[in-house]
């Protein structure tokens, strides 16, 4: 569909959505204008918002619904086998965050399954030293930065956690999409074949799918009034194919509706679009609950869940409106579920 045709269609959808939500069959026909002084007095009585000098209304932004919102983000690693001899597999994690939202990482940890060594059980096992690196571009080991080193007492194969809160926060603040890590788990003082130590972190082609590395983060939306008050830019660009939110703003003056809608000046008719690969199923963006994460893993492993995944709104907020109805009465109302805040895969 051509862009102009698409714009016209979206505008008509926005019109119909507003009328349906207000239980109107058609826009009110305003045959006479209310005197400005009377209008301003009535609006002040309604406590509809701050009346500007020109008589227009600045509605109060309701930001309390999101400033303390917290949720858990879970991302499973995509494992890239490196071609370079001796190079470790690269773990890639994808975290998407809404533009206009600033995320504070409260706590974050990388979960890795570490195998016990094949050494005989006689005597105490050697300790395992784990190194977590932030991977740079290319396959050279010189393009990586050591994030942490941890000594593990691995008596038997098990899951271990590695705190990376500051790293994930820096990643989020930088607006990046892909967080790439390299991991080594080697026995202290033990050399393998050809002098290369065995990596006891379960990674790569021989990995049991039940032991796929993952990252968990507890986050919340920062209270950032500046971001909330701004009209946010489009988030579904040419390079984004996964489920995302696309912003579309309808200015009421452009569609000749300013004579009956007093406030606001326009409507953010956001909508959801994009693909829902199995890894994103059940997740708001990449964020998901533990249940949804398990659900997506079942689908990824070929277990029939009898549900197809679609990109849909997962969070909406109301639209505060002040308007004339068909009887020329002024109505102030909060129209529920009008503005899509975020999208996710079912």
- What value does the mean pLDDT take over residues 296-312? 55
Confidence of residue 271 (pLDDT cuts 50, 70, 90): confident
306: left (phi over 0), alpha (psi -120 to 50) or beta: left
Residue 76's DSSP bridge partners are 214
Domain boundary among 201, 221, 241: 221
Tokens 């990643």 correspond to 171
Secondary structure of residue 297 in the 3-state scheme:
helix
pLDDT of res. 23: 87
3-class secondary structure, 108: strand
Same domain, 16 and 93: no
Q: Are residues 158 and 22 in the same domain?
A: no
- Structure confidence at residue 311 (pLDDT): 83
Q: Are 167 and 187 in contact (CB under 8 A)?
A: no
Average pLDDT over residues 301-314: 62
Q: Do residues 302 and 230 both lie within one domain?
A: yes
**Is pLDDT above 90 for 138?**
no
pLDDT score of 1: 57
Percentage above 70 pLDDT, the chain: 59
Q: Looking at 197, 221, 245, which one is the last position of a domain? A: 221
In CATH, what number is assigned to the domain containing residue 184? Answer: 2.60.120.970
Kindly report which listed range (70-74, 183-187, 293-297, 308-312) carries the lowest average pLDDT score. Answer: 293-297
Six-digit token string for 188: 């202290």
Q: Which residue has the higher pLDDT, 131 or 304?
A: 131
185 shares a domain with 45? no
- By residue count, the chain amounts to 346
Q: Please tell me what DSSP assigns to residue 143.
A: G
What is the pLDDT at residue 17? Answer: 92
Banded pLDDT at 242 (limits 50, 70, 90): confident
Query: Do 188 and 320 share a domain, yes or no?
Result: no
Alpha carbon 168 to chain centroid distance? 14
pLDDT at 229 over 80: no
Range 24-53 average pLDDT: 67
Confidence category of residue 50, pLDDT binned at 50, 70, 90: low
pLDDT value for 52: 56
Q: What is the DSSP string of 12-58?
A: HHHHHHHHHHTT-SS-----SPPPHHHHHHHHHHHT-SEEPTTS-EE
51 CB-near residues (< 8 Å, 6+ apart): 40, 43, 44, 57, 58
Q: Which residue has the higher pLDDT, 99 or 105?
A: 105
Tokens of 275: 């693909």
Residues contacting residue 178 through CB under 8 Å, at least 6 positions apart:
92, 93, 94
Mean pLDDT of 76-94: 72
> Which of residues 170, 186, 221 is at a domain's end?
221
User: Residues 170-183: what's their mean pLDDT?
Assistant: 83
Token couple for 145 = 């930065």
* Contact by Cβ (8 Å): 205, 129: no
Q: What is the CATH classification number for the domain harbouring 229?
A: 2.10.90.10
Regarding whether 114 and 36 lie in a shared domain, the answer is no
Based on the fold, state whether residues 147 and 201 are members of the same structural domain. Answer: yes
> Total structural domains in the chain?
2
Query: Do residue 57 and residue 115 come from a single domain?
Result: no
Question: In sequence order, what DSSP letters do the residues of 148-177 get, joined into one string?
Answer: EEEEE--SS-EEEEEE-HHHHHHHHHTT-S
How many other C-beta atoms lie within 10 A of the C-beta of residue 232? Answer: 16
Say yes or no: 109 and 15 in one domain.
no
Print the domain residue range for 22: 3-67+224-345
- Residue 345 has what pLDDT? 78
pLDDT at 27: 92
Same domain? 289 vs 309:
yes
Give φ, ψ of 165 to 5 degrees: -60, -50
């Amino acid at each position: 569909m051509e862009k102009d045709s698409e714009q016209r269609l979206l505008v008509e959808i926005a019109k119909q959505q507003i009328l349906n939500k207000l239980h109107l069959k058609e826009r009110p026909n305003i045959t006479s204008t209310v005197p400005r002084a009377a209008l301003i007095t009535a609006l002040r009585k309604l406590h509809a918002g701050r009346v500007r000098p020109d008589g227009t209304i600045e509605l109060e932004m309701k930001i309390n619904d999101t400033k303390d919102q917290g949720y858990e983000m879970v991302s499973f690693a995509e494992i890239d086998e490196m071609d370079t001899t001796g190079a470790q597999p690269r773990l890639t994690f994808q975290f998407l965050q809404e533009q206009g939202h600033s995320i504070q990482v409260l706590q974050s940890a990388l979960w890795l399954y570490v195998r016990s060594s094949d050494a005989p059980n006689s005597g105490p096992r050697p300790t395992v030293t784990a190194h977590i690196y932030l991977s740079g571009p290319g396959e050279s080991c010189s393009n990586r930065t050591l994030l942490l080193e941890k000594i593990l007492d691995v008596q038997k194969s098990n899951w271990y956690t590695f705190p990376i809160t500051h790293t994930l926060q820096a990643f989020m603040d930088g607006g990046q999409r892909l967080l790439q890590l390299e991991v080594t788990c080697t026995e202290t003082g033990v050399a393998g074949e050809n002098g290369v130590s065995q990596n006891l972190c379960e990674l790569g082609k021989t990995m049991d799918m039940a032991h796929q590395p993952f990252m968990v983060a507890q986050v919340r939306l920062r209270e950032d009034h500046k971001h909330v008050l701004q009209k946010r830019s489009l988030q579904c660009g040419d390079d984004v194919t996964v489920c995302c939110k696309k912003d579309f703003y309808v200015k009421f003056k452009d569609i000749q509706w300013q004579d009956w809608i007093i406030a606001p000046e326009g409507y953010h008719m956001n909508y959801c679009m994009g693909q829902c690969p199995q890894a994103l199923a059940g997740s708001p963006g990449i964020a998901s609950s533990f249940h949804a994460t398990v659900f997506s893993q079942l689908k990824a492993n070929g277990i029939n869940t009898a549900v197809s995944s679609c990109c849909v709104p997962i969070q909406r907020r109301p639209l505060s409106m002040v308007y004339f109805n068909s009887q020329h009465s002024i109505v102030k109302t909060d129209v529920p579920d009008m503005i899509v805040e975020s999208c996710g895969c079912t």
